[in-house]
Amino acid sequence: MEEIDRQILGLLADDGRMSFTDLARETGLSVSAVHQRVRRLQKRGLVTGFTAQIDHELIGLPLTAFVSIKPIDPAAPDDAPDRLAGLAEIEACHSVAGDESYILKVRVASPNALEDLLQRIRAAANVATRTTVVLSTPWEGRRPLL
Amino acid sequence: MEEIDRQILGLLADDGRMSFTDLARETGLSVSAVHQRVRRLQKRGLVTGFTAQIDHELIGLPLTAFVSIKPIDPAAPDDAPDRLAGLAEIEACHSVAGDESYILKVRVASPNALEDLLQRIRAAANVATRTTVVLSTPWEGRRPLL
DNA sequence: GCTGAAAGCATCTCGAC
DNA sequence: GTCGAGATGCTTTCAGC
C-alpha cells in the first residue's frame, strides 16, 4: 500500500461521508481515480465498512465497563464468544493473553443493568467475571498511525 | 428520543454511508424528513460523526493491547491524558475505577514496537504499566442496544 | 414536523490513453 | 492506473400545509 491510499484512509477515517469530489480535491487525483481506489480498498478488505459515531450517554447507555472473564471449568471447551454473541450489551470481545481468557467491553444504562448483565454473562458462558467500571473517556476511537 | 430516530441511528451505525433516499425508504418517511432528522441528530450531538472502519491487520498494525497504568507518585497531579495525547498508537484512553488509573487501548506493528511504546508511555506520564496482549478479536464495534 | 418539487451536485460507468 | 464526460441518481433547500 502506498502513500495516497494511506491518505484516503485517513480522510475517510476522519469523515466517513466525505464525497469523492472532496477526496479528489484533497488527493490531487481525478474523481474517478479516487472512486476506483476506494472501491479497491473495500474489495481488499482494508476498509471493512462505514459507521455513524454515536454518543452513548445521549442515547441512554451512560455506563461503560470492561469485563474480564475466566472459565470456571478450565477443561471445558472454550466457546465463550459463541455463547456471548447474543448479549447485545457486549460491544467488543477480545481473546487475550494472561490470567483471564477474554476482555469484554460493555455498555449499559445503569449499575442495575450492569449487575443483571454480569449475571447473564456468568450464566451463559460458565465463567467468573472481574469488572472495571469506566469513569470517563478522555478519548476513544482515535485514528492510529496511518 | 423516539422510535424512528432509534431506527435511523441503527441504520447509520450499520452503514454510515447509506443515502437519505434509502433511509427514507426504510423508515417510510419522505427524503426531506429523514434529512431533517439526521441533521437534528448531529446538531443535538447524538451522532458525533462518521468514520470508515479499517482492518488494522491489513494496514500493518496487527498487534493490539490493553495497557493499564498506575502513577508512580500518587501525590502528583493527574494529567496523564494530556501527557499521552501525543502518542498516536493510543487509540483510546479510559479513566477507570479500581487499582489502576487508566486503561489504554493501543495498536502497534510488532512486539518491538510495543516495547518501545511502553517505554514512551512510562516516560511521558511517570507511570507503571501492566499490559494485556490481544490474541484475537471475535468481534468489535458491534452496535449496542438502540 | 411532514411533504413534494426543483436546482445543483455527486456517483458511477465507460471508452480512451 | 488514470482521465474526462455523460447519464443517472442523490442532496439540499424552500414554499405550503
Distance, CA of A42 to C1' of D6, in Å: 26
**What's CA A97's distance to the chain center, in Å?**
19
A50 lies in some domain: no
Q: How many domains does chain A have?
A: 2
Give domain status of residue B49, yes or no: no
Q: Are residues B126 and B70 in the same domain?
A: yes
Reported as a single tens digit per residue, the pLDDT across B70-109 is 999 999 999 999 999 999 999 999 999 999 999 999 999 9
Name the residue among B53, B58, B96 with its Cβ closest to that of A133. Answer: B96
CA B18, C1' D6: Å apart? 24
Q: Name the residue closest to the C1' of D13 by its CA.
A: B32
- In chain A the first and final C-alpha atoms are separated, in Å, by 11
CB contact under 8 A, A138 and B93: yes
B75 and B17 together in one domain: no
Residue B58 domain-assigned (yes or no): no
Residue-range definition of the domain harbouring residue B37: 3-43
Q: Is position A142 within any domain?
A: no
Nucleotides on strand D lying under 7 Å from protein C-beta: 1-5, 9-15
pTM of the model: 0.95
Q: Which nucleotide across the nucleic acid strands is nearest to A21, CA versus C1'?
A: C10
Same domain, A74 and A127: yes
**Domain check: are B74 and B125 in the same one?**
yes
Write down the pLDDT at residue B119: 98
Q: Does residue B13 belong to any structural domain of this protein?
A: yes
A39 and A71 together in one domain: no
A2 lies within 8 A of chain B by CB: no
The whole-number pLDDT of residue A50 equals 98
B28 versus B146: which is more confidently predicted? B28
What is the secondary structure of B10-65 as a DSSP string? HHHHH-TT--HHHHHHHHTS-HHHHHHHHHHHHHTTSEEEEEEEE-TTTTT--EEE
A37 and A67 share a domain?
no
Q: For A97, which residue in chain B has the nearest alpha carbon?
A: B133
Let me know whether B25 and B87 are in one domain: no
Residue A54 is assigned to a structural domain of this protein: no
Query: For residue A143, what pLDDT is reported?
Result: 86
Averaged pLDDT for residues A83-96: 97
Cα–Cα distance measured from residue B63 to residue B134, given in angstroms and rounded to the nearest whole number? 7
| Residue A135 touches chain B, beta carbons under 8 Å | yes
Do the Cβ atoms of A52 and B12 come within 8 Å? yes
Whether CB of A103 is under 7 Å from strand C: the answer is: no
B14 CA – D10 C1', rounded, Å: 20
Q: Residues of chain A with pLDDT > 90: what percent? A: 96
Predicted confidence at residue B131, as pLDDT, reads 98
Q: Chain B contact for A81, CB < 8 A?
A: yes
In terms of domains, do A68 and A107 share one? yes
In which band, very low, low, confident or very high, does the pLDDT at A79 lie, cut at 50, 70 and 90? very high
Contacts of B48 (CB under 8 A, 6+ apart): A53, A54, A55, B42
Residue A119 near residue A106, CB atoms below 8 Å: no
pLDDT averaged over chain A? 96
Is residue A107 predicted with pLDDT exceeding 80? yes
The verdict on A30 and A88 lying in the same domain is no
B56: cell is: 488494522
Mean pLDDT of B55-59: 95
Say if A14 falls within a structural domain.
Answer: yes
pLDDT value of position B143: 86
Is the CB of A4 inside 8 Å of chain B's CB atoms? no
The yes-or-no verdict on residue A146 having pLDDT over 80 is no
CATH of residue B85's domain is: 3.30.70.920
Q: pLDDT by residue (tens digit) across A24-49? A: 999 999 999 999 999 999 999 999 99
- At residue A1, the pLDDT reads 60
Q: Looking at the domain assignment, is residue B76 inside a domain? A: yes
CATH code assigned at A38: 1.10.10.10
